[in-house]
A = this chain, B = another copy of it.
Amino acid sequence: MDFAYDTVTEDLRERLLRFMDECVYPAEPAFEEQAATSGWSTPPLMADLKDEARKRGLWNLFLPGEHGAGLTNLQYAPLAEIMGRSPTLAPTATNCAAPDTGNMEVLSMFGSEWQRKEWLRPLLDGEIRSAFAMTEPDVASSDATNIATSIVRDGDEYVINGRKWFISGAMNPTCKIFVVMGKTNPDAPKHRRQSMILVPRDTPGVHIKRGMHVFGYTDADHGGHAEIVFEDVRVPAENLIGEEGGGFAIAQARLGPGRIHHCMRLIGMAERAVELMCKRALARSTFGKPVAQQGVVQDWIAESRIRIEQLRLLVLKTAWLMDTVGNQGAHTEIQAIKISTPITVEWILDKAVQVHGAGGVSQDFPLAALWAGARSLRLADGPDEVHKRSLAYRELKRWM
């Protein structure tokens, strides 16, 4: 048992931290300004950041194997945390932003040679963005068997009909390709009914209806969260990823690393929140003494530190399990971090907001927006409660 990062990780952490200090944090104010007038498009300065990151060898770090940086989950995780400190800029700048990461993984593992050339290549080069269309408004999609979108074979084509929403990134016009989950085999066994298929943005019948809000945020600088109607959308049969009925298995494979990334980025946000909370508490005085000397605020700071340390270790151990025993063996831990990270980071962000007073809820600090992101992750991929139930069943089974 050894709690030190290996040298590859340490080296990349250092370079990434330098990139954050030299390029990312200084770009935040200008990015926000540009975002105010960019609509659903990516603010222009992102292109420069991407060039710079690529030049520095901080590119596609998330992707194992030959197409990416070849890091293990355990090696990448601490880098995701660092990126999470500036979640609007750093992941995109390094081509490590969701949902592209998951989509690249899927194409890299399950894509045909043609699919990889056509879609993986430009994604790896950061030339286009992509989306993952799973959640549906009309059913509780935490239960994947509820998914109602139909994908029907018709000659050399598949015809897609259905309504999706909260399709992150899809409002951005550079988001050129959607990975769509739907039912191809409604009569197959429960977990062999779904398939995943590639649908280019400009395919006739793809109607991008509107951007969903998350609390009051449109998240336009991330490409928003689209509601999309697929109405008799036809794509060539070769757009199917893997085989018919393989959708659930692909979704599962996609899930594990994505959870690690999300959780580590959340931990990065939490670290930033603690930093802001401490700085504010040191800078402000009320009733004649610095806020930093208020016992309740100290309690929040201590609790935040303690909770972050525990969370990070659990996420890192999960990454290690995924590297050593695979997604299946890490099932409990993957659920555990999915459940515990967003709610804990939400708590920390809430306290940081409180220390900032009215300013904390406003656009003048990143805290309220980060909070909304953390809050919504208590629902993404199914509400925490569903995952807890499943985790409990596994625990109970040990004693049956």
Q: Which residues of A contact B (CB under 8 A)?
A: 1-6, 9, 74, 135, 137, 140-143, 146, 165-166, 212-218, 274-275, 278-279, 281-282, 284-287, 291-292, 294-299, 301-303, 305-306, 309-311, 313-314, 316-317, 320-321, 332-333, 336, 339-340, 354, 357-364, 368-369, 371-372, 375-376, 378-380, 383-389, 391-393, 395-396, 398-400
Contacts and interface: CB of A to CB of B under 8 A. Distances in A.
Query: What 4 pairs across the A-B complex have the smallest Cβ distances?
Result: A295-B295, A216-B216, A216-B217, A298-B392
- Number of copies of this chain that the complex holds: 4
Contacts of A378: 354
A215 B375 CA distance: 12
Nearest to A294: B295
B369 A357 contact: no
A213 B392 contact: no
B214 A361 contact: yes
Given A1-B9, A165-B358, A295-B299, 8 more contacts: A212-B363, A216-B216, A278-B395, A278-B398, A298-B392, A301-B392, A301-B396, A354-B385
Contacts of A400: 282
B379 A357 contact: yes
Nearest to A2: B2
A303 B388 contact: yes
B286 A142 contact: yes
A153 to B, nearest CB: 29
A385 B296 contact: yes
Nearest to A292: B396
Given A165-B358, A212-B362, A298-B393, A339 B306 contact: yes
Given A333-B309, A372-B216, A317 B357 contact: no
Contact of A379 (B309, B340, B358, B372): B358
